[in-house]
Amino acid sequence: MFNKVTLIAHRGFSTEAPENTLAAFDLALTNNYPDIEFDVQLTRDSIPIIIHDETLDRTTDGHGPVNQCSLLEIKSLDAGSWFNPSFAGHQVPTLREVLLRYDGCANLHIELKSGEPELPEKVAELLHSTGWVQEALAQSEAEVSLAPVLVISSFDRQQVTRSRAALPKRIVHELLVETVSDESLEWAAAHKLKSYHPYAGDITPELIHKAQDRHLEVGAWWNEWDPSAVHDIVEAGARHAFVDSPLQAKAALPARGEIPMSVVRRLVWSANQAQQHRLPLNIPRA
């Protein structure tokens, strides 16, 4: 028996557009996947930006550690050409840009990627000033259970703890883990987190039962994207999945396995916006 699963566009629609860019996020939304995940780090001048690696080398034409470059320097870089020349000129977005652009049309899954103690507070300040906290608090318990507007996660427990202290308790937090253990499950439960996210290959029915006994949901992430494995983790009982290609992931599941997009309140992506930012890719709508 398949459970319902939320497919979360990992770094956006990252098989078809450069990860962690507005292009990748737009593509997820135009294909009716309103849950998008991205990584946040700080620049040298303490501005939260959207980038995965500690260095600029892999996903931009720049070099060196992210936290040793100013926002102005990072904004001068090309964050699209490495993926495909057709994306030349795309920039590394700031968290503020993402919060303003997708207000009212996306559910955001924010990973606190770097370890600066001030990062959770900087993120919280922006979430407050752009209205995302207020909107998240306005959701009913039923809406939060189905599709929370805002989710904060990290592999770093200190960052999770700091974020919990900087935001209202009702804001959803999750723990990402490299290795499954009873101790980390207990920690997540004790800190009243919503879910526990191990590597997809470590998800078993036994783990699901342990998590459920602690009132935790289970999500999945991949080292290497494998759409064929989505079927197995959902059958085991996973409730969330970070997927590089939502369309590939959906194709691996029976129709009843996914939460119908028609019931996700957040899907308010206007035709004008979609047309304005649609990418020149021959990808069918979901």
The question of whether 52 is a catalytic residue gets the answer: yes
Q: Are 238 and 216 in contact (CB under 8 A)?
A: no
Catalytic residue among 10, 90, 109, 197: 10
Clarify whether 10 is annotated catalytic: yes
Q: Which of 52, 128, 231, 277 is catalytic?
A: 52
Nearest Cα residue to 205 out of 237, 159, 162, 161: 237
Active site residues: 10, 52
